[in-house]
Amino acid sequence: MLGLTPSTTRRRVGIGDVARIEAVTALYRSVDYEIGGGALYTDIGRFAEAASILLASADSNHATTSLAMAVADARQLAGWTAFDAGHHSDAGRHWLAAERTAVTSGNQRLAARIRYCQARQFQHLHHNQDALATIRLAKDALGRDATPALLAMLRGAEAASLAALGEHSTAVASLKQAAGHFDDINPDREPDWMRFYDRGELLAQHGRVYRDLARHDRRHADAAVTWTQDAITAFGPQNIRSTVLNTVGLCSALALADDPDRALTVGTTVIRHGRELTSRRIQDRIRNISRDISPDIRHSGLADFRHTVTRVA
């Protein structure tokens, strides 16, 4: 399949083609959860682009819509692994292709998932106004196609950007809405690709919002610790990267809560696990721990740790 070109692919597409694309995408996704996108983004990018060529060259038949959804899903994953690996231009390119395919096929639910990914990248790059605009576009476009899981996911992401922008009361209100939507989820009525959004994801957004609140008012720090610990507990053993990302958040929360000994213990674990995963995003998050540790910290171990994280490559 990786050798496909537009001049060699015009043929009738069958259900078997769709099933093969879905199976390969699912395999790549499971590996991405375990070891990070850095080990995969080149291969999954080539695979997703080849699938796109197949879609562009396929004769129109009853399987074409299913193929379009499989291709959009593959391009979404290609974008996510590129984002995780720190290749932001490639991530944006894959997500634009995925969004275009989903919208053209009339699948606003999948388009919302892709726009959520775009918003997460904007947040990582500190473009929170752009993230909010993208999230709100996703919500508005969903209309009657909205499901509780999609709304919970989007409201949680919205809360994170609002908190980062200093709109704290609105952020907490969005979190409450996210939790309410989450309680209404019926897995049998959600798209299969929304199964990633579990309680761990919801709790992680709570932890992220309360860490931002604690940076302005340390009275929120204990809540940030609790939410983040609960998120780590909720993530399954197969989702190693999310566990590590939230362990990074826990280190920050403990520093904000003025618990330097535990922050140092967790931070030491973070450094070790961060080296085991091929995720540039984790490295970026580890460096960001330094903003939550005062340069004037008198705890010698934590002071040395702060110096260490600023030099993480």
Q: Is residue 279 located within the same domain as residue 193?
A: no
Q: Is residue 88 located within the same domain as residue 181?
A: no
CA–CA gap between residue 55 and residue 201 (Å, rounded): 32
Boundary of a domain, candidates 71, 86, 106: 106
Q: Residue 143: left if φ>0, alpha if ψ -120 to 50, beta else—which one? A: left
Q: Is residue 84 located within the same domain as residue 135?
A: no
313 in a structural domain: no
Count of domains observed in the chain: 3
Q: Is residue 219 located within the same domain as residue 150?
A: no
pLDDT tens for the chain, 313 residues: list them: 555 544 555 556 678 888 999 999 999 998 998 888 888 899 999 999 999 988 876 665 667 888 999 999 999 999 999 999 999 999 999 999 999 999 999 999 999 999 999 999 999 999 999 999 999 999 999 999 999 999 999 999 999 999 999 999 999 999 999 999 999 999 999 998 899 999 999 999 999 999 999 999 999 999 999 999 999 999 977 788 999 999 999 999 999 999 999 999 999 999 988 888 889 999 999 999 999 999 889 899 999 999 999 988 6
CA–CA gap between residue 210 and residue 172 (Å, rounded): 9
312 in a structural domain: no
pLDDT at 236: 78
Q: Is residue 260 located within the same domain as residue 301?
A: yes
293 in a structural domain: yes
pLDDT at 12: 65
Q: Is residue 174 located within the same domain as residue 222?
A: no
96 in a structural domain: yes
pLDDT at 39: 86
pLDDT at 61: 60
Q: For residue 79, report the phi and psi dihedrals to the nearest 5 degrees.
A: -65, -40
174 in a structural domain: yes
pLDDT at 13: 67
Per the structure, the complete domain to which residue 298 belongs is given by 206-305
Burial 286-301 (b: 16+ CB within 10 A, else e): bebbbebbeeebebee
95 in a structural domain: yes
Q: Is this structure's pTM higher than 0.75?
A: yes
pLDDT at 311: 87
Contacts of 247 (CB under 8 A, 6+ apart): 232, 266, 269, 270, 273
Burial 202-239 (b: 16+ CB within 10 A, else e): bbbbbbbbbbbbbbeeeebbbbbbbbbbbbbebbeeeb
How would you class 182 by CB atoms within 10 Å of its CB: exposed for 0-12, middle for 13-18, buried for 19 or more?
buried
189 in a structural domain: yes
pLDDT at 34: 84
pLDDT at 150: 98
310 in a structural domain: no
Q: Is residue 169 located within the same domain as residue 216?
A: no
Q: Is residue 82 located within the same domain as residue 183?
A: no
Q: Is residue 51 located within the same domain as residue 134?
A: no
Q: Is residue 210 located within the same domain as residue 129?
A: no
Boundary of a domain, candidates 106, 140, 159: 106
Q: Is residue 179 located within the same domain as residue 248?
A: no
Q: Of 204, 116, 111, give the one whose Cα is nearest residue 158.
A: 116
Angle (CA) 244-134-117 rounded to 5° is 30
Q: What is the CATH number of the domain that holds 214?
A: 1.25.40
Q: Is residue 225 located within the same domain as residue 293?
A: yes
Boundary of a domain, candidates 197, 228, 250: 197
